[in-house]
Chain A
C-alpha cells in the first residue's frame, strides 16, 4: 500500500471516528489550535470615501453605487467643504442622527445652531457623519475617513451599539468555558468584560486618529431610558442549571402576585431569591426588584433598573441598543487618559431633572433622545467646544435658553413614530398612549398619519405599495424611519395593541375610526383558512417574528414564555376548526397538559407529548367576535434539563455558532383556523 492509499485509509478511519457531535467538536478544537491570528486588514487609507459620499475638491457627493446605505446617513446629496470655514465632524450612531426627528432636526443641526450662537464661532461648519446602526468598527472607520476633511474638532456620541461584537473563535471558546462553569450568568459577565475591553480599544483608536488629525474629541457618554423602558416579555430568563428554571418561574409568579397586592417587601425578597437563582442572567428579577423598591428605596430601585438594563446585554439574544454602565465608566476613564472633553449625559440629564432617573422627558424610546434631550446634548457639547475653538466661555444653560422650539408638526410626527417603534419593541400600552396623545396634542393634523398607518399596516399589501403609505411618505421624517426598502421596519406585525390605541386616540379627538378599521381588518384578514404562525398573526414585535433572533433558526415556532398568543380575525362568528401541530420540548416528563383559551375563556386542556401531534379543536361561535380574537396557548410549567441545554449552548459556541440562551416552552409547526363551513366545503 503506497502513501496515498494509506492516507486514504487514515482519513476514512478518522471520518468514521469523528462523525459524531463529539467528533465535530474535536475537529473544531483542533482547527482552532492550529489557527494563527490573521493579520488585521489595512485601514481604508488613501481613498476618497467618506461615509456614503465621495470627496471631490470642494465637496462630498453622495455615491449612487451605495444607494442602499443612504438611509443610515445624513440625508444630504452634497456636503460643501469650504476652505475658509472651521469644521467640526460629528461621529456616532442613531442617537446622534436624531432618530424620529431626522432629517428635520438632528444632533448635527442642533450643534451647528448652538455653535452659531457663540460669539466668534459662526463660521464653524458641522459635518454630519453619524450613521444609524454604527458599530465600533463603523465608528473607527468613519473617524479614519474624517481625517481627510481636516476637522478642527470631533464630537462623538456612540456606545449604544458597542455590544454588537463580532466574536472571534477564541472569544467563543472562552464563553463556552464560562457557560460550562457558571451558566449564562457567568458567560454574560465575561461578555460584558469583552465589550468593555473593546470599548477601551475603540476609544484608544479614536484618540490616535484625533491626535493625528490635530482635532480634539468631545465625547458624549450616552444614557438609557431607565425610568420608562421595559424590556419585552419574550426576554424571560436564560436556561438555568438543573431544575432551577422551573423554580425561577414559580418565584416569578409569586413576586408578581406580591407586587399586585402591594406587598413590596415580600416582592423584593422573592425577587432577590430569583436573582440569586439566575446569577444575574435575567433582567426580570432585577426589574421586579426595582418595582418592589420604587416606592420606598428609590436609590436602590434606580440601581436595580441599571442592573436590569445591563443584564439584558448578552450575545445570546437580540435586544434593543443600550450602553452598559461599565462602558460609561470606561468612557470617563478614557476621557481622563486621553484628554477628551466630556459631555456626561447621565449626569447632565439627572441634573436637569431633579436628580431623577431619566425617562420619557428625555427619551423617545430606549436610547433615542427627545428634542429636549438632543438640544441639551448639543448645547453641552457646544459649550465644551467653545474654548477649544478659541471662543469665549459659555454655559449649556445659556445656549439652551436661546434654542428655538421645533414645529409642532415635527414633534407630532416624531411622537407618532416613537409610538410605532416602542410598540415593535414590546412597550406597554401606557407608553404607546403617551406618545400618541402627545402627537395629537402637538398637532391634530398628525391624525392623518395615524389613519394611514392603520391602513397600510392592516393591509396584506406591502407598505410601499399602499396608497396610504405613499401619502405619509411625503413627510421626510416618516420616510426616513419607515424606509421603503427596509423589510424589517416596514414588515407587517401583529401590533394590534398599537393599532387599537391609535383607534382610541383618534376617536377621542373626534376622528371616527373604529368601524372603518374593523371593516378593513376583517376584509384583509378574515379568511377561509388563517395561518396563525405568520408574523401578522403572532409577532407583535420585531423579536417575536419567526426566524429572528439568535441561535438556530427553526422551521417551527418556539414559545418564548409560558403563554403564546395568536390573533384570529373573523367576520361573522361561526364555529371554527383550530388545527395545531405541536409538541412539548424535551423535559422532565414525556407528556403534560396544555391549555387553550379563546378571548380569555378556557376552551380545552389537551394532553401533549414530546412528539409532534396533530390536534383539531373547535372554537365555538359563541366564544368568537367579529374582528380580532385572541387564542392563547398556556404551556405547562415543567422542569427542563438545564444542564443539557447549557452544555448544548457551550457546544454550539465551540462550533462557532451563537446559541439562544432562552428555553422554549412549547413548539408549534402549524396552527391554522378554518370556519367549519369552509372546512366542509
Chain B
C-alpha cells in the first residue's frame, strides 16, 4: 500500500493496438513500467494490461485504491473517426477484421471492468502521449518535439513545443500520409513481419546500394517546408494481404519476397534505398521542427524514432545541439507520456524534470526466490554464488572470455524493446563466428542481423565514434576500436552502442569490467534474451526454457550459474529442439490500423 510520497498516483495505459503497457508515476516520479506481453507471453499483446498493472503497482508498494488517475494513451473518438473514414465507402467497415473493432467505448469499459478502476480517466492524444514520453522525460527545460510513427488517431507525424511545464503540439501530418506506413509497407514487400521486421530492414540496408532510391522517392513527396505526402496510388492500407498495390511492385521493379525465402542482393538494395529516403525525410522533419521551435534541444518518439540509423543522422547532421529519444519510443512508451500529461493536468506542473536514466522499470525476482526455485531441482551441479558477487562475475567473465554464450538474468526487467543488461544474451564480441552462431542456433533468426555492443561508458570513446552517453542503445555510430569486433560491427562498420555505468547498471557494469580485466576488451555483445517470435523472458522459468530451447552455453540466474553440461538429461530431452508457442494477437502481414 501507498508510501508517503507526495503527489498523485497516475497510471498510464497503452492498449488495444499492439504492445500494451502500463507506467506508474507517483508524485511525478516514474516508479515502474511494464509490457503486458512479458506476463501473458503473447507477443505484442494488445489487451488491456491487467497483469502488468498488478505487478507494477505491487512492485511500487501500491494498490488500485491508491491510484488517483488512469491516463489512456489515445483518443478513442478521434480514432473511431479515422476508422470510419478508412472504411469508406462502406459505413461502417464490415470486413471480418473490422468486425467489433469500431468501439470507442472500449477503453473506458476495459479500464472500469477489467482493471477495476472507477476514478478519473484522462484521455491523451496518441501523438501527445509520444511527445510527452520524450519531452517530460528528457530533462530539457525547453525543446522542440518530433513524433513519427505509422498512425495514431489521425496524426502520423507531429511537431511540438515543450516549454517548462507545458507541452503542445503545433503541427501534424495526417493519415494516410505516414512515414511509418511507408517503411512498414516495404518491410512487408521484403517478406518481413510488419511491426516487427522493420528492424531487420534497417539491419539489411548496409548490405545494399541505394539504387532504388529515386523510385522510393516517387512514393513520398517531401516539401521544402519539411512536410510530406505519400502518393496514394501505390498504397492500399485496407488490404489484409499487404499494404502495397500492384503499381508499387511495378514502380519498384522488385517482386514481393516470399517470407523466409532467400534474401538476394536486390532485397538488400531496396532496403538500403528505403532507409536512405527515410533518413532524408526524417532530417527534413527535424529541420522543420527547428524552424517551428528554435530550441537547442530536440525530443523524439514514435516507432520511427527507433530507427537508430536515421536518428543518428538527426543527431549528427540535424540542427539541434541535444537530442533525446525516448527509449520506449513505440506505442508501449505512450503509457509513459499519457501518465506524464495527466500529471501535468492534475498538478499544473511537469513531472520531475530529470532525464530518464534507466529503463529498468519492470519487476525483479528476488535472489532468494531464484534459490528456492532451483532448490526443487535437487542436487545438481548448479553453481551458487550467493554473497560472492566477485566470484560470480569472475566465473561468468571467464566463460565469456572462453567464447561461451551467456544467458544473463539480473535485477529489474527492462521497459522498451531493448535488453539492457537485465534480460540479455551476452557474448564475446571478438569471436569471428559469434554473430553467425548466435543468429543461427541461439536466436534462430536471419544470418545478416547484427548484434549490439554494451561498453563501459568511460571506454566508449576508445572504441566508437561516440562522445556522449548512449544508455538505451538508441544510436548507431562508427566502430573505431583497435580491437577486431566482428560480432558487433555491422557491414558498414557501424554499431548500435549501449554505454554502461556502474551508477545506472551496477552488476552488469562490473561484469563487463571483469571481462575487460581478462581480455582488455571493455565490450560485450548484448542481445535480448528471447527466441525469435517470443517476448523477452520475464521469470527464471522463462529464462530456463529459452536456455533449454537454444544453444546458449550458460545461464546466469541472479547469483546462480548453470552450465549446459549441468542440465539434467530429462530437461534436455523434454525441451531441446522445441520452440516456444508462437502466440501473437497482432497481424504481421499488414499494420494493424484498427
A-to-B contact residues, CB < 8 Å:
7-8, 11-12, 14-16, 18-21, 23-24, 27-28, 30-32, 34-35, 38, 67-68, 169, 455-456, 459-462, 464-468, 470, 473, 484-485, 524, 531, 547, 552-556, 579, 581, 611-614, 616, 655-657, 667, 669-670
Contacts and interface: CB of A to CB of B under 8 A. Distances in A.
The 3 A-B pairs with the shortest beta carbon distances in the complex, nearest first, are A461-B376, A467-B378, A15-B81
A309 B571 CA distance: 41
Q: In the complex, which of the residues B78, B100, B374 has the most CB atoms of chain A within 10 Å of its own CB atom?
A: B100
Contact of B116 (A459, A554, A616): A554
Given A15-B81, A31-B102, A612 B568 contact: no
Contact of A28 (B88, B96, B102, B373): B102
Contact of B92 (A27, A485, A655): A27
Given A460-B369, A554-B116, A669-B64, A15 B376 contact: no
Given A7-B85, A461-B377, A555-B50, A19 B80 contact: yes
Contacts of A14: 81, 84, 91
Contact of B105 (A21, A462, A465, A468): A21
Given A31-B99, A555-B115, A465 B544 contact: yes
A663 to B, nearest CB: 13
Q: In the complex, which of the residues A20, A30, A31, A611 has the most CB atoms of chain B within 10 Å of its own CB atom?
A: A31
Contacts of B402: none
A655 B103 contact: yes
A31 B98 contact: yes
Q: In the complex, which of the residues B64, B66, B575, B581 has the most CB atoms of chain A within 10 Å of its own CB atom?
A: B64
B63 A614 contact: yes
Given A461-B376, A612-B116, A555 B64 contact: yes
A670 B58 contact: yes
B80 A169 contact: no
Contacts of A68: 578, 581
Contacts of B81: 8, 11-12, 14-16
B5 interface: no
Nearest to A616: B1
Interface size class of B (residues with CB under 8 A): 35 or more
Nearest to A27: B102
A460 B100 contact: no
A24 B113 contact: no
A669 B116 contact: yes
Interface of B: 1-2, 47, 50-51, 53-54, 58, 63-66, 76-78, 80-82, 84-85, 88, 90-94, 96, 98-100, 102-106, 109-110, 113-116, 118, 369, 372-379, 541, 544, 568, 570-571, 574-575, 577-578, 581
Given A31-B92, A554-B116, A460 B372 contact: yes
Main secondary structure of the interface of B (DSSP, over half): helix
Contacts of A547: 51
Contacts of A461: 372-377
Given A14-B84, A460-B372, A464-B571, 19 more contacts: A14-B81, A15-B81, A21-B105, A28-B102, A459-B375, A460-B373, A460-B376, A461-B375, A467-B379, A484-B574, A552-B114, A553-B114, A554-B113, A555-B114, A556-B116, A581-B63, A611-B65, A614-B66, A657-B100
A485 B545 CA distance: 10
A459 B376 contact: yes
Contact of B50 (A473, A524, A554, A656): A554
B46 to A, nearest CB: 13
Contact of B1 (A35, A552, A614): A614
Contacts of B375: 459, 461
Nearest to B82: A11
27 contacts: A14-B81, A14-B84, A14-B91, A19-B76, A19-B105, A24-B105, A30-B94, A32-B99, A34-B94, A456-B376, A460-B373, A464-B574, A465-B373, A465-B544, A466-B378, A467-B377, A553-B50, A554-B50, A554-B114, A555-B53, A555-B64, A581-B63, A581-B64, A612-B65, A655-B100, A669-B54, A670-B1
A244 B369 CA distance: 48
A535 B376 CA distance: 19
Nearest to A654: B100
A127 B104 CA distance: 53
A12 B84 CA distance: 8
B570 A473 contact: yes
A221 to B, nearest CB: 35
Contacts of B1: 579, 581, 614, 616, 670
A554 B117 CA distance: 11
Contacts of B82: 11
A175 to B, nearest CB: 15
Contacts of B378: 466-468
A465 B103 contact: no
B54 to A, nearest CB: 5
Contacts of A655: 100, 103
A429 to B, nearest CB: 27
A409 to B, nearest CB: 21
Contacts of B116: 554-556, 612, 667, 669
A28 B93 CA distance: 10
Contact of B102 (A7, A12, A24, A467): A24
A670 to B, nearest CB: 5
Nearest to A610: B118
Contacts of A524: 372
Nearest to B47: A553
Given A68-B581, A554-B116, A655-B100, A669 B65 contact: yes
Nearest to A582: B65
B64 A556 contact: yes
Contacts of B115: 554-555
Contacts of A464: 571, 574
Contacts of B66: 614
A456 B581 CA distance: 24
A462 B541 contact: yes
A30 B100 CA distance: 10
A34 B90 contact: yes
A178 B568 CA distance: 56
A551 to B, nearest CB: 9
A465 B65 contact: no
B377 A465 contact: yes
Contacts of B376: 455-456, 459-461, 465-467
Contacts of B88: 7, 11
Contact of A15 (B2, B50, B80, B541): B80
A264 B96 CA distance: 55
A15 B84 contact: yes
Contacts of B379: 467
Given A462-B541, A553-B114, A24 B104 contact: yes
A11 B65 contact: no
B84 A19 contact: no
A612 B1 CA distance: 12
B152 to A, nearest CB: 14
B529 to A, nearest CB: 18
Contacts of A23: 104-105
A667 B53 CA distance: 16
B84 A16 contact: no
A261 B93 CA distance: 62
A27 B103 contact: yes
Contact of A31 (B78, B94, B109, B575): B94
A23 B84 CA distance: 13
A186 B568 CA distance: 55
B570 A169 contact: no
Q: In the complex, which of the residues B47, B78, B84, B379 has the most CB atoms of chain A within 10 Å of its own CB atom?
A: B84
Contacts of A21: 105, 109
B542 to A, nearest CB: 10
A456 B51 CA distance: 26
A7 B85 CA distance: 7
Contacts of B98: 31
Contact of A612 (B63, B94, B578): B63
A467 to B, nearest CB: 3
B69 to A, nearest CB: 14
